Chains A and B, each alone.
Chain A
Amino acid sequence: MVLTPADEKELSEMVAAASGPLRIAGGGTRPIGRHVEGDTLSVARLSGVELYEPGALTLVVGAGTPVAEVERVLGEENQRLPFEPMDHRALLGTDGTPTIGGVVATNASGPRRIQAGACRDSLIGVRFVDGAGTRLKNGGRVMKNVTGYDLVKLMAGSHGTLGLLTEVSFKVLPAPAAQATVSLPGLSPAQAVEAMAVALGSPYEVSGAAHLPDADGGPVTVLRLEGFADSVAYRSGKLGDALKRFGAAHVETGSAEVAATWRAIRDVEAFAGTPGDVWRLSVKPSDGAEIAERTSGKVMFDWGGGLIWVLVPEGTDLRGRLGAFDGHATLVRASVETRAKLPVFQPEPEPLARLSRGLREKFDPRGILNPGLMG
Chain B
Amino acid sequence: MEMPAPDTDILSRKDRIVQRLQTVLPKTAVIHDDVETRAYECDALTAYKCPPLAAVLPSTTEEVAAVLKICHGEGVPVVPRGAGTSLAGGALPTADSVILGVARMNRVLEVDYDNRFIRVQSGRTNLSVTGAVEQEDFFYAPDPSSQLACAIAGNIAMNSGGAHCLKYGVTTNNLLGVTMVTMEGEILEIGGAHLDAAGYDLLGLICGSEGQLGVVTEATLRILRKPEGARPVLIGYDSNEVAGECVSDIIKAGVLPVAIEFMDRPCIRATEAFAKAGYPDCEALLIVEVEGSEAEIAEQLGVITQIARRHNPVELREAQSADEAARIWLGRKSAFGAMGNINDYMCLDGTIPVSSLPYVLKRIGEMSEEFGLDVANVFHAGDGNMHPLILFDANKPGDLETCEAFGAEILKLCVEVGGCLTGEHGVGIEKRDLMTTQFAPDDLEVQMRVKDVFDAKWLLNPAKVFPLSVSAERRGFAA
Contacts and interface: CB of A to CB of B under 8 A. Distances in A.
Interface string A309-328: 00000000000000000111
B201 A157 contact: yes
A10 B200 CA distance: 27
Contacts of B295: 230-231, 234
A150 B204 contact: yes
A282 B194 contact: yes
A370 interface: no
Interface string A28-63: 000000000000000000000000011111100000
Contacts of B446: 130, 134, 136, 138, 151, 362-363
Contact of B199 (A227, A228, A284, A346): A346
A56 B355 CA distance: 7
A148 B439 contact: yes
A246 to B, nearest CB: 15
B423 A145 contact: yes
A94 interface: no
Nearest to B293: A234
B254 A177 contact: yes
Interface in B243-291: 247-249, 251-256
Given A203-B226, A284-B115, A355-B454, A136 B353 contact: no
B205 A150 contact: yes
Contact of A53 (B249, B293, B354, B451): B354
Given A202-B225, A352-B202, A157 B197 contact: yes
Interface stretch (B51-59, B168-176, B310-318, B359-367): B168-176
Contact of A346 (B198, B202, B427): B198
A211 interface: no
Contacts of A358: 452-453
Interface residues of B, number: 92
Contacts of B203: 153
A13 interface: no
A173 interface: yes
Interface stretch (A113-121, A253-261, A270-278): A113-121
Contacts of A374: 199
A352 B205 contact: no
Interface string A97-130: 0000000000101000110011011000000001
B159 A154 contact: no
Nearest to A77: B252
Contacts of A26: none
Contact of A326 (B193, B227, B296): B193
Contact of A286 (B114, B425, B454): B114
Contact of A120 (B193, B204, B254, B293): B204
A146 B192 contact: no
A27 interface: no
B216 interface: no
B196 A56 contact: no
A147 B427 contact: yes
A53 B425 contact: no
A348 B195 contact: no
Nearest to A327: B194
A201 to B, nearest CB: 5
B420 A145 contact: yes
A135 B190 CA distance: 29
Given A53-B354, A55-B355, A356 B292 contact: no
B447 A149 contact: yes
Given A142-B423, A147-B422, A157 B200 contact: yes
B425 A146 contact: yes
Interface in B153-175: 158-159, 161, 165, 169-170, 172-173
Max chain B C-beta neighbours (<10 A), residue from A134, A145, A153, A157: A145
A307 B345 CA distance: 49
A142 B194 contact: no
A110 to B, nearest CB: 12
Contacts of A234: 293, 295-296
Interface centre among A58, A118, A146, A349 (most CB of B within 10 A): A146
A92 interface: no
B116 A201 contact: yes
- Between A130, A144, A359, the greatest number of chain B beta carbons within 10 A of the residue's beta carbon is seen for A144
B115 A146 contact: no
B401 interface: no
B114 A356 contact: no
B112 to A, nearest CB: 8
A372 interface: no
Max chain A Cβ within 10 angstroms of own Cβ: one of B182, B188, B449:
B449
B196 A282 contact: yes
B442 A134 contact: yes
Contacts of B227: 203
A3 interface: no
Nearest to A359: B453
Interface stretch (B5-13, B67-75, B379-387): B379-387
B88 to A, nearest CB: 9
B195 A153 contact: no
Given A150-B207, A356-B200, A56 B353 contact: yes
B426 A143 contact: no
A306 B176 CA distance: 13
Contacts of B172: 121, 150, 153
A228 B354 contact: no
Contact of B173 (A121, A328, A345): A121
B173 A117 contact: yes
B185 to A, nearest CB: 11
Contacts of B439: 137, 148
A156 interface: yes
B354 A56 contact: yes
Contacts of B438: 147-148
Contacts of B189: 349
Interface in A330-375: 330, 345-346, 348-349, 351-352, 355-356, 358-359, 362-363, 374
Interface string B352-395: 11110000000000000000000000001001110000000000
A142 B384 contact: yes
Contacts of B383: 142-144
Given A286-B115, A346-B199, A230 B299 contact: yes
Contacts of B137: 203
A206 to B, nearest CB: 10
B204 A156 contact: yes
B431 interface: yes
Contacts of B125: none
B80 interface: no
Contact of A174 (B208, B226, B251, B354): B251
A231 B292 contact: yes
A177 B420 CA distance: 33
A1 B4 CA distance: 52
Interface of A: 53-58, 77-78, 107, 109, 113-114, 117-118, 120-121, 130, 134-138, 140-154, 156-158, 162, 173-177, 194, 197, 200-203, 227-228, 230-231, 234-235, 238, 282-286, 303, 306-307, 326-328, 330, 345-346, 348-349, 351-352, 355-356, 358-359, 362-363, 374
Give the 6 A-B CB pairs with smallest separation, nearest first: A153-B204, A55-B248, A328-B198, A144-B423, A358-B453, A327-B194
Given A57-B251, A326-B194, A345-B199, 5 more contacts: A141-B418, A147-B420, A149-B450, A286-B115, A358-B453
